């Protein structure tokens, strides 16, 4: 069932954009050059770093909204 969802999103994206050529590989090239157990760690580290950056942006936005909204109360 999960694969069907991925396929559906992929088809929707290609219908909207026309091609997936603009998409870049998410993981470092080194992940394909090392043994699988090391590649998994590289990919997990990449995901954790992205998550950290995303959470920092979210924290900043929420903080700014709170600062702007605070004088209204």
pTM attached to this predicted model: 0.65
Output 40 or 6, whichever has higher pLDDT.
40
> How many other β-carbons are positioned within 10 Å of the β-carbon of residue 30?
10
Q: Work out the average pLDDT over 66-73.
A: 88
The reported pLDDT for the residue numbered 2 is 61
Tokens representing 6 are 């991925």
**pLDDT band of 72, cuts 50, 70, 90:** confident
pLDDT in tens, 16-64: 988 878 878 889 999 999 999 999 999 999 999 999 999 999 999 999 9
């Amino acid at each position: 069932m999960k694969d069907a969802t991925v396929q559906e999103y992929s088809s929707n994206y290609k219908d909207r954009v026309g091609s997936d050529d603009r998409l870049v590989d998410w993981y470092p090239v080194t992940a394909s050059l090392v043994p699988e157990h090391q590649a998994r760690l590289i990919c997990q580290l990449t995901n954790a770093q992205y998550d950290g950056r995303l959470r920092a942006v979210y924290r900043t936005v929420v903080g700014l909204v709170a600062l702007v909204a605070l004088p209204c109360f």
